[in-house]
């Protein structure tokens, strides 16, 4: 069950370790709900590719598997969520990633509630195998493991943070894509 007001203008957060498939699922759900999927990782990669000031600032940090600092991310997300297309709701993929970022999001929401926080998770060996099969430059095995370690240290505490607020919903990300999408739709009570 999700809050009725929150579903009229749905704001959904996807949480989960790298390669859990949350990006794919965020995009699918965005299409179903006809709202934007906002991936901070994609925004940052685009900034790096375009060689912007932001891109130059985050490039090294991203390549190492570490997180970009919370203050810089707050600016990026505040700006993105103030765009007109986010007015009817949005899906956040990859933000928040730390407890301070969750507090920034609460400020941005200023009293409005999230519909849900979907935790897409899978066993570690599945995550690492997926990272290696993708073969992205930042997905070499040591970087993939570092990204996972950073998730466990900095992002996993958000599971309890959102669970305490009654928002966390657990999704089994080791299933095939369409099954995971089905779990998500039924959790949110949306038609497929
Ligand atoms: P992603 O595609 O979500 O895995 O993000 C790729 C990389 O971008 C991460 O490993 C971080 O270096 C950076 N990044 C993306 N989102 C955030 C965030 N919310 N906070 C800090 N760093 C981020």
Cα gap 96→158, rounded to integer Å: 8
Cα gap 89→76, rounded to integer Å: 17
Nearest-atom number in ligand 1 for the CA of 95 is 19
Helix (H, G, I), strand (E, B) or coil at 192: coil
User: Is the CB–ligand 1 distance for residue 171 below 6 Å?
Assistant: no
Phi-psi region of 22 (alpha: psi -120 to 50; beta: other; left: phi over 0): alpha
80 pLDDT higher than 80: yes
pLDDT at 140: 74
Give me the percent of the chain exceeding a pLDDT of 90.
Answer: 81
Helix (H) or strand (E) holding 62: helix 53-64
User: Is the CB–ligand 1 distance for residue 44 below 6 Å?
Assistant: yes
| Ligand 1 midpoint to CA 97 (Å) | 8
SS (H, E, C) 99-144: HHHHHHHHHHHCCCCCCEEEEEECCHHHHHHHHHHHCCHHHCHHHH
Q: Which pLDDT band holds residue 192 (cuts at 50, 70, 90)?
A: confident
Q: Which pLDDT band holds residue 131 (cuts at 50, 70, 90)?
A: confident
Looking at per-residue pLDDT, the higher value among 145 and 14 belongs to 14
How many C-beta atoms surround the C-beta of residue 1 within 10 A?
Answer: 8
Instruction: Say if CB 9 and CB 88 are below 8 A apart.
Output: yes
User: Is the CB–ligand 1 distance for residue 17 below 6 Å?
Assistant: no
Residues in the chain: 192
Tokens of 91: 């899906």
pLDDT average, residue stretch 139-168: 92
pLDDT average, residue stretch 6-19: 87
């Amino acid at each position: 069950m999700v809050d009725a007001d929150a579903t009229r203008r749905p704001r959904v957060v996807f949480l989960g370790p790298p390669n859990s498939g949350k990006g794919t699922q965020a995009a699918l759900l965005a299409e179903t709900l006809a709202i934007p999927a906002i991936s901070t990782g994609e925004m940052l990669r685009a900034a790096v590719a375009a060689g912007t000031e932001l891109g130059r600032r985050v490039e090294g940090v991203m390549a190492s598997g570490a997180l970009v600092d919370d203050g810089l991310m707050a600016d990026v997300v505040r700006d993105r969520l103030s765009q007109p297309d986010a007015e009817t709701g949005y899906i956040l993929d990859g933000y928040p990633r730390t407890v301070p970022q969750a507090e920034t999001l609460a400020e941005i929401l200023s009293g409005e509630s999230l519909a849900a926080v979907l935790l897409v998770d899978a066993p570690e060996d599945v995550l690492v195998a997926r990272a290696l099969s993708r073969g992205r430059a930042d997905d070499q095995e040591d970087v993939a493991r570092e990204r996972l370690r950073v998730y466990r240290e900095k992002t996993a505490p958000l599971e309890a943070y959102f669970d305490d607020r009654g928002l966390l919903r657990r999704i089994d990300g080791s299933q095939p894509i369409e099954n995971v999408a089905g779990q998500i739709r039924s959790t949110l009570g949306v038609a497929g």
